[in-house]
Amino acid sequence: MWFFIGPKVVFGEDALDYLEQIRGSKTLIVTDRIIVDLGIVDKVKDKLKIAGIECEVFDEVEPDPSDVTVMRIVDKLKSYEPDWILGLGGGSSMDAAKTAWVLWENPDKRMEDINAFTPVMVNQKARLITVATTSGTGSEVTWATVVTNTKEHRKMILMAKEIVPFAAIVDPKLTVSMPPKLTAVTGMDALTHAVESYINSWKNDFSDALAMRSIQLIFEYLPRACMNSDDMEARTKMANAATMAGLSFGNSSVGIAHGVAHSVGAVFGLPHGLVCGVALPYVIEYNISTSAKFLAELAELIGIKEQNEKKAAKMLADRTRQLMMEIGIPLSLKESGIVEKDFKENFGRLIRMIYEDASATLNPRSFTREEIEKIYQCIYYGKEIDF
């Protein structure tokens, strides 16, 4: 027996108008200063005003939100006592809002105790709405959050099936302000979600269908979205693709690329989507020996015509690299700016962290210590994987 879990999804241009329909008295908006400066918070406030709902704003969420920031949001919830929480922005703001929501509703829980095996109570004090302003993380529809443990300098993957928003708003108009670099990085994050969802050990028919369409849309529309921020067709398709990829991996899982991204992000501070994208073609190559059939199916989706499954899978990796070059994503961690000396000094730590990462454990091909060391070396130096 399996479950498909997701929120109500309100999508399309002007989906933000949905906020005019909700009923309540107070909303806490959880976001960051950039979203405030872009004027998006004011647009949200206008919609809530029409609904007759007052609001306050917490705008201090940082990239890769820390446990300290989350607890500050919890304190704000305790004092303000809203009946709605609105996570507005990229994955960081939405993850911070989701985590704070759970901790406020469950005061007996510690952050590190949030897991997929222990039920939590939600919707007793407030309901959650997520509003995505980027097209990549999928956090608007998933029941997982990522929070940085400041004492241990590592990322915590927190999961509970109850952490599903009441509604997710996916309005492509809110993504127009993304610069090309952010569009590219978040787009590669979404592509990695979809590809790893399609091949990981928990893949299923429902998640597969969403992953397949997401991959088609990303290969077709991501270059256009990067080239022209006002291309509303490309923005719309990318917004939909990212949310579909989120629903997909949220109901299956991911793999080694995400384990690499979590560890490299924690150690070197590189953006999650960037590292996912850099790692993706190498992870595709590594998984050919166990997942050639599935990877060949994905290759066919984007127009690759090759009967030999292993060759088709390799062509998918190469086509991914071609996409990365088109949109300005580096092809190795070295190209991403990590100094070789720093990489070598932190190599052992990176290896330890990936063994602690739940994402990597569901990769379709299990790995030995020697293999994961070689994978990291290939991703860093830009060497194709042939083992």
CATH number of the domain encompassing residue 169: 3.40.50.1970
Q: Mean pLDDT over residues 209-229, rounded? A: 97
| Averaged confidence pLDDT in the chain | 96
Residue 2 confidence class, pLDDT cut points 50, 70, 90: confident
Q: Are residues 110 and 226 in the same domain?
A: no
Predicted confidence band of residue 93 (pLDDT cuts 50, 70, 90): very high
CB neighbour list of residue 302: distance below 8 Å, 6 or more residues apart: 215, 216, 219, 316, 319
Predicted local confidence at residue 356, as pLDDT: 85
Q: Among positive and negative, which fits the CA dihedral 221, 254, 138, 352?
A: negative
Domain tally, the chain: 2
What span, in angstroms and rounded, lies between the C-alpha atoms of 319 and 381? Answer: 19
169 and 216 assigned to the same domain: no
The answer, yes or no, to whether residue 335 has pLDDT greater than 90, is yes
Beta strands (DSSP E) in the chain are: 8-11, 26-30, 54-58, 84-89, 127-132, 144-149, 154-159, 167-170
How far apart are alpha carbons 354 and 150 in whole angstroms? 18
Lowest mean pLDDT among 230-239, 301-310, 317-326, 359-368: 359-368
222: tokens are 């991501």
- pLDDT attached to residue 361: 87
User: Does some domain include residue 2?
Assistant: no
User: Do 163 and 195 belong together in one domain?
Assistant: no
**Same domain? 281 vs 342:** yes
Cα separation, 90 vs 382, whole angstroms: 29
Task: Tell me whether residue 304 is exposed, middle or buried, using C-beta atoms within 10 angstroms of its C-beta: 0 to 12, 13 to 18, 19 or more.
Answer: middle
Residue that the structure tokens 């379709």 belong to: 364
pLDDT category of residue 118 using cuts at 50, 70 and 90: confident
Confidence of residue 20 (pLDDT cuts 50, 70, 90): very high
Q: Would you say residue 387 lies in a domain?
A: no
Last residue of a domain, one of 159, 175, 191: 175
Sign of CA dihedral 283, 286, 290, 292: positive
User: pLDDT tens, 261-291?
Assistant: 999 999 999 999 999 999 999 999 999 999 9
Whether 330 and 263 map to the same domain: the answer is yes
In a domain, 42, yes or no: yes
**Same domain for 364 and 288?**
yes
Which of 138, 156, 175 terminates a domain? The answer is: 175
Task: State which of 118, 148, 175 marks the end of a domain.
Answer: 175
| Under 8 Å between Cβ of 73 and 11 | no
What are the tens digits of pLDDT across the range 252-263?
Answer: 999 999 999 999
Question: Dihedrals φ, ψ of 63, to 5°?
Answer: -55, 140
Q: Examine the domain organization and report whether 208 and 167 are in the same domain.
A: no
Phi, psi values for residue 212, rounded to 5°: -60, -50
Mean pLDDT of 171-182: 96
Q: Is residue 369, in this structure, part of any structural domain at all?
A: yes
Q: Which residues are CB-contacts of 248 (< 8 A; sequence separation ≥ 6)?
A: 193, 194, 197, 198, 207, 208, 210, 211, 214
Q: Indicate whether 358 pLDDT > 90.
A: no
Q: Note down the domain range covering 357.
A: 180-381
How many Å apart are CA 125 and CA 269, to the nearest integer? Answer: 35
Residue 192 and residue 61 share a domain: no
pLDDT of residue 191 exceeding 90, the answer is yes
129 occurs within a structural domain: yes
Q: What tens digit of pLDDT does each residue of 346-356 get?
A: 999 999 999 98
Q: Is the pLDDT of residue 127 over 90?
A: yes
Which range, of 125-139, 153-167, 174-188, averages the lowest pLDDT? 153-167
Nearest to 92 by CA among 166, 44, 145, 131: 145
pLDDT > 90? residue 315: yes
- 142 shares a domain with 221: no
- Range 61-82 average pLDDT: 97
Within the chain, how many helices (H) and strands (E) appear?
A: 15, 8
User: Has residue 3 been placed in a domain?
Assistant: no
Phi–psi pair at 117, nearest 5 degrees: -105, -5
Does residue 359 surpass a pLDDT of 90?
A: no
Q: What percent of the chain has pLDDT over 90?
A: 92
* Dihedral angle sign, alpha carbons of residues 316, 339, 262, 385: positive
- Confidence class for position 86, pLDDT limits 50, 70, 90: very high
Same domain, 66 and 160: yes
| CATH number of the domain encompassing residue 268 | 1.20.1090.10
Whether the predicted pLDDT of 168 surpasses 90: yes
Same domain, 258 and 339: yes
- Say if 386 falls within a structural domain: no
Whether residue 252 sits in one domain with residue 150: no
Rounded mean pLDDT, 183-190:
98
Q: In 3-state terms, what secondary structure has residue 304?
A: coil
pLDDT classification of 3: cutoffs 50, 70, 90: confident
